[in-house]
Amino acid sequence: MHELIRLSAREAVARLKSREISPHELIDAAEARVNEVEPAVNALPTRCFDRARAFVDRLPWPEDPPPGHLYGLPVAIKDLHEVAGVRCTWASKAFADHVSQRSDYSVERLEARGAAIVAKSATPEFGAGAQTFSDLFGTTTNPWNTALTPGGSSGGSAVAVATGEVWLADGSDLGGSLRIPAGFSGVVGLRPSPGRVAFGPRALPFDTLSVQGPMGRDVADVALMLDAQTGLDPRDPLSLPAPDESYQSVVARQLAMGRLPSRFAPGRNGGCRIGYSRDLGLCPVDDEVAAICEAAMRRLEKLGAQVEDTAPDFSGAEDCFQVLRAINFAASVWPRIQGKQHLVKPEVIWNAEKGLKHSGPEIAEARRLQGQIYNRVSAFFERHDFLALPCTPAAPFDHRLRYLEEIQGRKFDTYISWLILTFAITLTGTPAISLPVGFTRAGLPVGLQIVARPRGEAELLAIAALLESELGLTHLLPVNPKQPS
């Protein structure tokens, strides 16, 4: 494995900034690593290394760089996000030959901050589902066991980061698409608050369910990428200004202090109070997964947190999300696939047609349920700093399955029902991070999901970084793909 691949994104950027290494050296190292591991994992089906080399040749040296400037660091972009001059397929045969004429807002910002885009990462068709496969590109595999899935829909991004093909990658998250593949692949994935990363152009610019965000090998690398992604963009009506203090600075300061953040819940003094739930009362969770997450909570107690077995009431979350997701597909995907249904997987067609059939009263009830859930979560964060729970109800499973159909005797009704621990959080608009906290007896990663108050990315990254430091797992990456024994 090339020595440069082992660098963290922060270390690589520091060496780029000091001119100790050049962007071309990193691009060459990334390309060599891609050629080495791709046959086993299939994470980056579309590559644009020559475009990246031309980009860094034109890259101006910033005199007063903003936080998060990447100085030519190679980055992968999910194949749902357009990059000018590069094929973007949405993993669908219906768009197999589409070449983007312009870049998405988030891609424009990343390139303005010096990101050298080297590849498009694999996703299921239109990002539908949390198992990364498509008829166009085939199946992406989990590097910890290539017989298994890395999850999805940002599965290619997670695997590219885990194997060292790139140092950072972007993803998107509707029902858990940043968090689930991070949990299954042993990397860090952050679902930011809506608007934290400018998103568009898109058919539903006021939608708060879908967001874009960063993936990295550790929390500090994710903070670096979030700094590169953030900033006000008037083309996105939800976009937020960059924070006064960079996320990298917040993480560095908290690690230096070595104690948990404790000032975030309004009206309380002292202590860090965390609510933990094994399952939010929503679905069964594998006993081994739950035990690993509970052990991580004991490590947080060792750091001084007060952990309580409590969580907001998420009653109605599945009914609510199923309706809102369906009308999202009806509005944003259906117009694009009309007349092309024979080229599109059945789950996408089902989801879009389901949305078209929902009545006004059904949509109104879903909106009402979402409001109730948010109000209960808001009240929870008046008394607690964070909510924690497993990221997924099970460990990575056979990549030949289209989706997880059953856990502990409970059969799931739809291909997205098993994602409930992440999509319940989506409904609240709160930021959530998936952090690797251990491995099963079979050597598979397990992710803990930590949730903060709305727009609380800074404190979320701070607590995640402290727990990560306590657990000491980051040295395990990058990983070489492992064949099943």
Q: What is the pLDDT of residue 372?
A: 98
Task: Average the pLDDT over 363-388 and give the result.
Answer: 97
Q: What are phi and psi of 276, to 5 degrees?
A: -125, 140
- Residue 223 in this model has a pLDDT that exceeds 60: yes
Cα distance between residue 57 and residue 78, in whole Å? 24
Is pTM, for the whole model, over 0.85?
yes
- Residue 271 in this model has a pLDDT that exceeds 80: no
- Residue 259 in this model has a pLDDT that exceeds 90: no
- Residue 267 in this model has a pLDDT that exceeds 50: no
- Residue 269 in this model has a pLDDT that exceeds 60: no
Q: What is the pLDDT of residue 1?
A: 60
Helix or strand or coil: residue 80? coil
Three-class secondary structure assignment of 183-246: HHHCCEEEECCCCCECCCCCCCCCCCCCEEEEEECCHHHHHHHHHHHECCCCCCCCCCCCCCCC
Nearest partner of 474 among 217, 226, 225, 221, judged by Cα:
217
Cis bond upstream, residue 153 (ω within 30)? yes
Reported as a single tens digit per residue, the pLDDT across 414-442 is: 999 999 999 999 999 999 999 999 999 99
Cis bond upstream, residue 62 (ω within 30)? no
Cα distance between residue 159 and residue 479, in whole Å? 9
- Residue 264 in this model has a pLDDT that exceeds 70: no
Sequence-ordered list of residues with C-beta below 8 angstroms from that of 56, at least 6 positions apart, any chain? 23, 24, 27, 72, 116
- Reported as type and span, the H/E element at residue 256 is helix 247-257
- Do the Cβ atoms of 96 and 89 come closer than 8 Å? yes
Reported as a single tens digit per residue, the pLDDT across 294-322 is: 999 999 999 999 999 999 999 999 999 99
Length of the chain: 485
Task: Average the pLDDT over 289-295 and give the result.
Answer: 98
- Do the Cβ atoms of 368 and 257 come closer than 8 Å? no
Reported as a single tens digit per residue, the pLDDT across 314-344 is: 999 999 999 999 999 999 999 999 999 999 9
pLDDT class for 203, splitting at 50, 70, 90?
A: very high
Helix or strand or coil: residue 82? coil
Cα distance between residue 235 and residue 447, in whole Å? 34
Tokens of 343: 């080229």
Give the number of other Cβ atoms within 10 Å of residue 136's Cβ: 18
pLDDT class for 260, splitting at 50, 70, 90?
A: confident
Task: Average the pLDDT over 348-369 and give the result.
Answer: 98
Task: Average the pLDDT over 449-455 and give the result.
Answer: 97
- Do the Cβ atoms of 126 and 134 come closer than 8 Å? no
The owner of tokens 């609240």 is 428
Q: What is the pLDDT of residue 477?
A: 98
Cα distance between residue 67 and residue 42, in whole Å? 32
Cis bond upstream, residue 237 (ω within 30)? no
Give the number of other Cβ atoms within 10 Å of residue 340's Cβ: 12
Reported as a single tens digit per residue, the pLDDT across 69-91 is: 999 999 999 999 999 999 999 99
Cα distance between residue 183 and residue 390, in whole Å? 9
